Structure 1
């Protein structure tokens, strides 16, 4: 039964990511990918994650020094633990691949600086909520002391919020609404932290987008990409 529960947990977690990936593709427009600039900020973020895995392989003490175990001291752990991977070979590959894809989609929509800020919110917000409610264990954080999945799911959920608020099609908006609904259901049924951080990401994305639209370089949904290529301003993301 425990083995079956683990399979269901992993399948639902993966299905939620697939749903958010599809929301991201609808948001930026699959046909615009070739016309968008190289997402250098997302590439750099992924390179940090890959470098952390290399560090783990080269240094046996990396996990002890950099994970997020609350029994250990170190102000840096809340950040460094995101780039440590403890899900085995498959889990590590899944985390890095999803981070690379979601970060690229998020940079194309939010642009680089705001994408990094939202990713940072995905790192820090679960811990702050735990502290707010007096939790000593990371109950709302799916990282289990290490792993990038929590921040990645949070960032992906901001894309669903973007789709909800910008899509001219009801199908897209309904798909976006399914993201927080599925996340909440996963949390209630499985206590799956990925579902809860997804809800946080949707809420923050919805709150940030109206403000981001007022920036000199606002977010870039599919409808904002010129048909013959990005404008000079849009090329610098």
Structure 2
């Protein structure tokens, strides 16, 4: 190494260390932000809390996207992963998410009773014995039979079978799928020859955080499936893709 190159190497290393420290600082700021959002949701300030999460979370994401590629490769990726887990766990207990989760819990309960969820709406007298004071009153569109396809129904049944029968419990399943998707995204980005730290764009995205860790929407499973298929495709394991129409008999 020449004398001229040595200072440049030190400068690059120092810049990487500063960027890594700054990214960890963003993890701390994000933790404070989403803890505050959860506290506001408990205080019944859903509107301001969600807008704050979207706007401030978007700014946090932008800063993370700029910093991540400038960090130490290993430590930067760890910071991205820790932030992804921390932000989701902080939103997990927050109230006021989508009422869709109550339909998920209901459909799981109906299946556990040996009843076809496609055959009866929640208001059907045949299901009176399954009603309670927590889930049933909060089901949206109670006069309509379920719209969720078989794969979703299998998820509802599995969650019920392992005892995840509350909104928080089912949301934990959604978060697990979302975190698994982030892991697959890191692998896919790396396989494409790009910087895996750029997975921060999804891992810290406020819409993904609110949509999955707060509202428990099922699209987290779709994201996971798409990324798994993309990984299989890039590995040459999918020679042909066929579409299965589950509605056909």
Same fold (TM over 0.5): no
Q: If the length of structure 1 is used for normalisation, what is the TM-score?
A: 0.27
Q: If the length of structure 2 is used for normalisation, what is the TM-score?
A: 0.26
- Tell me which structure has the larger Cα radius of gyration: 2
